[in-house]
Amino acid sequence: MLAVLSPGQGSQKPGFLTPWLDLPGAAARLRWWSALAGVDLAYLGTEAGAEEIRDTARTQPLLVAAALLAAEHLPVYDVTLTAGHSVGELGAAALAGVLTPESAVTLAGVRGREMAAACALEPTGMSAVLGGDPEEVLAAVDRHGLYPANRNGAGQLVAAGAVDNLAKLAAEPPARARVIALQVAGAFHTRYMAPAEEALAGMAAGITPADPARILLSNLDGSAVNNGREMLQRLVRQVTAPVRWDLCMRTMADLGVTGVLELPPAGTLAGLVKRELKGDGAPEIVTLNTPDDLPAARDLIARHGSTAGHEPAISFRVVVAGTAGTFTPADLPEGTEVRTGQVIGHVVTRQGPVEVKAHGNGLLTEWLAHSDDPVAPGQPLARIGGQL
């Protein structure tokens, strides 16, 4: 199974888009997306300095555009799973078919501008906490009135909040942990971003999303999201909600991901996956940074993608589990006609049963999981074909 990852803020490097502009149509595409995002993406990706592309209002649309520009040169129809980190979720949602590239870039432009404006309201920031006992780190963050904005796994947590409280955390770090101040404009993924969430919600209300055509993981809880409207709501909510990249990686491990491809500017997420998913089942990883890396990326997709013998193939007609638990199918024999929104089973969790609904009209052609089977988020449960 292949996972394609779209990176988030902090992964950008000066000039990283320069080699991509030599590809046919790339410059024209960036001009169009620049008009939608309200920033000059070609300039930012080729000539702008590090300080310019650290600006949240510029960085966010630049990263989404870069990932989607590179993806246009890949056979994404063979990709099984997509996920993005923070603003990278917009790129992942476009790769999954929930958003058009134009919608993703437009939303990234709004998101970046509004988050930058929210950062200017009061002095806030973020600090990486490396190492230490996870529970002790969380307790220390809470004790100092901060928020765990990013839980990235691999011994890395990002705390966010008022700059005075971040200074206190640095002065009294958790045992066996280091606190490193990050060069960011403010406390992303916390209540401080509420004005940006409200503005993004207003823009997103005018978009009609599609249901994902492949497994799409959510930063909110690492679950696979089947419904396009729900994913769009999650993308808006993520502005103030913590990024649970640790749970996204756990879902990848549960699903048995064998290959990971990170889109440009690649390296950060690949490093986290490498440190977290170790051992005999560690996935093969390719980082795509320049067009010279495209042959290796295409080869990875050919060997680990949906046409490489991995069954069942994931498509919009495959119903997948949204959460982990034990599956209880409805009393529906194969061949039964089902309708959009019809409950075809439940995933029983510690918090109670979660409904599994058909997201298309058709025939229940095959059960892919059976009664009392343990299931992971994104695991195929049933195949619905022959739409009515």
pLDDT at 366: 83
* Residues 250-280 pLDDT 10s: 989 988 899 999 999 999 999 999 999 988 8
Whether residue 253 sits in one domain with residue 197: yes
Q: How far is CA 288 from the centre of its chain?
A: 17
Checking phi first, is residue 325 left (phi over 0); if not, alpha (psi -120 to 50) or beta?
left
Whether residue 157 sits in one domain with residue 137: yes
Among 110-119, 240-249, 362-371, which is the least confidently predicted range? 362-371
Q: 311: pLDDT confidence band, cut at 50, 70 and 90?
A: very low
Q: How far is CA 270 from the centre of its chain?
A: 13
Whether residue 328 sits in one domain with residue 299: no
Whether residue 195 sits in one domain with residue 176: no
- Hey, which residues does 348 pair with through a beta bridge? 326, 353
SS3 of residue 110 by DSSP: helix
6 catalytic, yes or no? no
Taken in order 218, 265, 288, 100, the sign of the CA dihedral is positive
When divided into structural domains, the chain yields a total of: 3
Whether 312 is in a domain gets the answer no
Query: CATH number for the domain including 102?
Result: 3.40.366.10
Per annotation, catalytic residue among 6, 127, 144, 189: 189
Q: 139: pLDDT confidence band, cut at 50, 70 and 90?
A: very high
370 catalytic, yes or no? no
Residues 107 and 94 sit within 8 Å (Cβ to Cβ): no
Q: Mean pLDDT throughout 330-336?
A: 91
Locate all alpha helices (DSSP H) within 82-131, ordered by sequence.
88-95, 101-119
Whether residue 204 sits in one domain with residue 176: no
Q: Mean pLDDT throughout 148-174?
A: 94
pLDDT at 279: 86
Write out the residue range of the structural domain in which residue 376 sits.
318-385
The percentage of the chain sitting over the pLDDT mark of 70, rounded to a whole number, equals: 96
**Distance between CA atoms of 297 and 185, rounded to whole angstroms?**
33
Whether residue 200 sits in one domain with residue 93: yes
Whether 310 is in a domain gets the answer no
Using the predicted structure, report yes or no on whether residue 316 has a pLDDT greater than 60. Answer: no
Whether residue 105 sits in one domain with residue 220: yes
Per annotation, catalytic residue among 6, 11, 34, 86: 86
